[in-house]
Amino acid sequence: MVSEHETDGSLLLATLQIDLPDDLLELALTHRSYSYEHGGIPTNERLEFLGDSILGQAVTVMLYRRFPDLEEGELAKRRASLVSTVALAEIARGIELGRFVRLGRGEELTGGRDKPSILADTMEAVIGASYLGAGPDAATALVLRLVAPLATAPGHFRISMDPKTSLQEAAGQKGLAAPVYELSESGPDHQKVFVATVRVSNAAGVVVVQATGEGPSKKQAEASAARDAVATLKALPTEAASA
């Protein structure tokens, strides 16, 4: 993946097969770290909020129609999987969205262009921008082009439903050590927040992938961290992981 910021938005629009005004696309690609370093200009967070809703609706309808024999509970699990950070980051990497994100210097230096959370949030913002700039039908069509292939992708739903096992298997496939988790907690007993950090190292003990997640329980925090880690690890070339 190219690390420099790509400023020619027409390349991204051609990949997305959609037409948007330059200012709207620029807003969709503006991360809060860039805003902070440039005088507090508007960020893509409102578009992200809009895109999240459009994404959820389009995926819900798609699953309802594509899988007429599935029960409500299974449909809900599949929807959660397809709109997850792991799924959106995978989609974003497939279209090289990270090349176009407007990041602050700090995020740039810490690998922000490939962070699952930034990629997923920006993907939602682009979907929101497509709704405003091209209309609801075009936005729905965009979601289906991006998401539909994952609905039948082997192994995708397992990553979402059992991320810790998926991470362990992915690490083994790349010749890496078993993932190691660290947990911390904060807050009162009735409202604790757990934070999990997972690290995957190579044979030399060098950390290759690190991710953090949080949740109201240890299990949910570890699962959140594992989802981000497996998304990053899957995108990492085997030779880079073992170096």
DSSP string, 69-124: T--HHHHHHHHHHHTSHHHHHHHHHHTTGGGT-B--HHHHHTTGGG-HHHHHHHHH
pTM value is 0.71
Residues of the chain whose pLDDT is less than 70?
A: 1-7, 153-161, 238-243
- Looking at the structure, do residues 123 and 230 belong to the same domain, yes or no? no
List the catalytic residues: 52, 124
Q: Which two tokens stand for residue 176?
A: 């890496």
**Domain termination residue (choose one: 157, 177, 209):** 157
Query: 214 a known binding residue?
Result: no
Dihedral of CA 156/161/167/173: which sign? negative
Q: Which two tokens stand for residue 58?
A: 């389009």
Residue with tokens 């770290």: 33
Domain annotation covers residue 169: yes
Query: 48 a known binding residue?
Result: yes
- Looking at the structure, do residues 74 and 139 belong to the same domain, yes or no? yes
| DSSP secondary structure letter of residue 189 | G
CATH assignment at residue 59: 1.10.1520.10
Strand 193-201 versus strand 180-186 pairing type: antiparallel
- Looking at the structure, do residues 76 and 182 belong to the same domain, yes or no? no
Give the whole-angstrom CA distance, residue 57 versus residue 54.
5
Rg, C-alpha atoms of the chain: 18
Helix 85-94 vs helix 72-82: angle between axes, to the nearest 10 degrees?
50
- Looking at the structure, do residues 32 and 137 belong to the same domain, yes or no? yes
Q: What is the pLDDT of residue 116?
A: 83
Domain annotation covers residue 241: no
Domain annotation covers residue 242: no
**Domain termination residue (choose one: 133, 157, 181):** 157
Count of domains observed in the chain: 2
Domain annotation covers residue 14: yes
Range of the domain at 194: 163-235
Query: 121 a known binding residue?
Result: yes
Q: What is the pLDDT of residue 1?
A: 35
- Looking at the structure, do residues 101 and 19 belong to the same domain, yes or no? yes
210 half-sphere exposure, CB direction, 13 A CA radius: 7
**Domain termination residue (choose one: 157, 174, 209):** 157
Q: Which two tokens stand for residue 53?
A: 């809703």
Determine how many CB atoms are found less than 10 A away from the CB of residue 236.
17
